[in-house]
Structure 1
Amino acid sequence: MDFQGSLFGAPSFGTASVDAPTFDRVVRRELTRGAWVDICPAWLPEADDVFAAMVQDVPWRAERRQMYDREVAVPRLLHTYGVGEPLPHPALARARGALSAHYRPELGEPFVTAGCCYYRDGRDSVAWHGDTIGRGKTQDTMVAIVSLGDPRRLALRPRIGGPSISIEMGHGDLLVMGGSCQRTWEHAVPKVAHAGPRVSVQFRPLNVF
Structure 2
Amino acid sequence: MSVPLQGSLLDGFEEVAPGPLDGVRRVQLSDGAWVDLLPGWLGGADLLFDRLVTAVPWCADRRQMYDRVVDVPRLLRFYEEGQELPDPALDAARIALSEHYFDELGEPFRTAGLCYYRDGADSVAWHGDTSGRGATHDTMVAIVSIGAPRALLLRPRGGGASLRYPLGHGDLIVMGGSCQRSWEHAIPKTRRPVGPRISIQFRPRGVR
TM-score exceeds 0.5: yes
Q: Which amino acid aligns with 2:203?
A: R
Q: Write the mapping of 1:82-161 to structure 2, written as runs, cut at 5 A.
A: 82-161=80-159
Q: Write the mapping of 1:1-209 to structure 2, written as runs, cut at 5 A.
A: 2-10=4-12, 19-193=17-191, 194-209=193-208
State the distance in 2 between where 1:9 and 1:190 align. Answer: 26
State the distance in 1 between where 2:18 and 2:185 align. Answer: 28
TM-score (norm 2): 0.94
Q: Where does structure 2 lack aligned partners over 5 or more consecutive residues?
A: none
Offset at 1:86? 1.8
C-alpha root-mean-square deviation of aligned residues, in Å? 1.5
Q: Where does structure 1 lack aligned partners over 5 or more consecutive residues?
A: 12-16
Which structure has more strand as a fraction of its residues?
Answer: 2
Q: Percent identity?
A: 62
TM-score (norm 1): 0.93
Which residue does 1:14 correspond to in 2? none
In structure 2, the CA distance between the partners of 1:47 and 1:18, relative to structure 1 (3 Å rule), is closer
State the distance in 2 between where 1:75 and 1:48 align. Answer: 23
CA deviation profile, 1:156-178 (whole Å, cap 9, x unmatched): 11013322111111210000000
Q: Which runs of 4+ in 1 moved over 6 A?
A: none
**2:118–2:195 Cα contact (<8 Å) kept:** yes
State the distance in 2 between where 1:63 and 1:6 align. Answer: 30
**1:45–1:91 Cα contact (<8 Å) kept:** no
CA deviation profile, 1:80-121 (whole Å, cap 9, x unmatched): 111112222211111100000000111000001000000000
| Matched pairs, number | 204
